[in-house]
Amino acid sequence: MSLLTVDELTVTFTQRGKPDVRAVDGVSFTVDQGEVVGLVGESGCGKSVTSLALMRLLSGRNVKIGGSVVFDGIELLKLRSEEMRDLRGSQLAMIFQDPLSSLNPVVPIGVQVTEILTRHRKLRGEAARKEAAVLLEKVGIPDPTRRLREYPHQMSGGMRQRALIAMAVACAPRLLIADEPTTALDVTIQAQILELLKELVDSQGTALLMITHDLGVVAGLCDDINVLYAGKVVEAAARRPLFAAPTHPYSVGLLNSIPRLDAPRGEPLKPIRGSVNDNIAWADGCAFAPRCDHYTIECLQGPPALTEALTGHRYRCVNPVTTHEPPAVIATEDGR
């Protein structure tokens, strides 16, 4: 059985006097023990909302969540909020996009690390401080005892993200959700942070759900990839088949839009035309149709179903891409 099974998850935002917004529209995927799964898509496709819904961090009367999220045999969406609090931080942990705004500016880093140790591992006082220093050391923060006394604004962006990672892995969670963990960082720091995440999940046996818009990040890290578009998974496959033979025109577009160093000078970039604002409702057909190069009249006859190919490749498209332009190869050093 999978560690995490998300089935037909829907998230709807309601606002009085305005039409409901369905940010996540029936997303299903699984994460196995120790596996790294990518959730990829452009801004506004529902990937962050999905992750917050999994953690039950979307609250308020104007949010409706449907479907099911089963973690280790427990239905998270039906859990009492106190029980969910016990799981958060200990079994399920999360890293966010902007490390500066994600840290409390007026509380020392040390307290922000030890508070989670106190909460879930019952460590107090000196024992908690020692463990916090060990954690900071583990995520590559030099001189950890001094750093524990510092405030977030005294650290660099990379250090802050490392501190957040230290908090997330403090209780050796079984699932770590990383929501665009490198977006706010320099490219050189990005690589270090990804390397660190990879090491940590490998050594702790933690499963990682990587949420990103950056295909370069998934290419180097993920075992399985789910491509999200307008709140639905439009393509799901293991990393190699997805990069070698993307089937959904949106995935193809995403891969083609990566700028390539070997492209001739002056060759224009190839963005996907239009924007998410051009979408049509899934009920009327494929939401991506107005932006799609493979668009046919059939695309407008109801929502496309998820088709499973023999290779295990799943896609939601009535006119998939079959002949490929040279596959976009993104450097990967190992054969995972």
Partner 1 sequence: MLRFIVRRLLQLIPTLFGLSILLFVWLHRLPGGPEAAILGDRGTAQQRAEIRTTLGLDEPIWVQYGRFMKRLASLDLGTSIQSGRPVTEEFFTRFPATVELALTAMVIATVVGIPLGYLAARRRGGLLDFGAVTSSLVGICVPVFFLAYLFKVIFAVNLGLLPSSGRQTPGIDATHPTGFYVLDGLLTGEFDASWDAFAHLILPGLALSSIPLAIIVRMTRASVLEVLGEDYVRTAEAKGLQENTVRVRHVLRNAMLPVVTAIGLLTGGLLSGAVLTESVFAFGGIGSFIRTAIDFRDYPVLMGFIMLIATTYVLINLLVDISYSVLDPRVRVR
Residue among 64, 78, 146, 153 that touches partner 1 (CB under 8 A): 153
Helical (H) or strand (E) element with 54? helix 47-54
| Residue 252: burial class (beta carbons within 10 Å; 0-12, 13-18, 19+) | buried
119 lies in the binding site for partner 1 (CB under 8 A): yes
Tokens 């050189």 correspond to what residue? Answer: 188
* Positions 53 through 112 that interact with partner 1 (CB under 8 A): 55, 57, 84-90, 93-94, 96, 98, 101-108, 111
Taking the least distance from each CB to partner 1, the nearer of 47 and 291 is: 47
Output the smallest distance, CB 37 to partner 1, in A: 19
Smallest gap from residue 124 Cβ to partner 1 (A): 14
Closer of 107 and 269 to partner 1 (Cβ): 107
| CA dist., res. 91 & res. 186, Å (int) | 30
**115 lies in the binding site for partner 1 (CB under 8 A):** yes
CB closer to partner 1 out of 15 and 188: 15
Question: H or E stretch including 160?
Answer: helix 157-169
Quick one: 107 or 329, whose CB is closer to partner 1?
107
- Strand order of the sheet with strand 232-238? 92-95, 175-179, 207-212, 36-40, 224-229, 232-238, 314-315, 307-308
Structural tokens at position 91:
């079994």
CA 191, 193, 199, 202 dihedral sign is negative
Tokens of 301: 């006859």
Question: DSSP letters of 229-289?
Answer: ETTEEEEEEEHHHHHHS--SHHHHHHHHTS--TTSPTTPPP-PPSS-GGGPPPGGGS-TTG
CB of residue 167 vs partner 1: minimum separation in angstroms? Answer: 6
Query: What angle in degrees, to the nearest 10, is found between the helix axes of 125-138 and 157-169?
Result: 120
CB of 102 to partner 1, least distance (A): 5
Nearer Cβ to partner 1, position 89 or 304?
89
Nearer to partner 1, 55 or 289 (CB): 55
146 binds partner 1 (CB under 8 A): no
Angle of CA points 168, 173, 174, to nearest 5°: 140
Choices 67-75, 115-123, 253-261, 299-307; region in contact with partner 1 by CB under 8 A = 115-123
Q: Within positions 164 to 223, which residues make up the interface with partner 1, using CB under 8 A?
A: 164, 167
Contact residue for partner 1 among 68, 151, 157, 257 (CB under 8 A) = 151
Cβ 265 to partner 1, closest distance in Å?
A: 40
Please count the other Cβ atoms lying within 10 Å of the Cβ belonging to residue 15.
Answer: 9
Binding-site size for partner 1 (CB under 8 A) equals 31
**What's the min distance (Å) between Cβ of 105 and partner 1?**
6
Can you give the binding site for partner 1, defined by CB under 8 A? 52, 55, 57, 84-90, 93-94, 96, 98, 101-108, 111, 115-116, 119-120, 151, 153, 164, 167
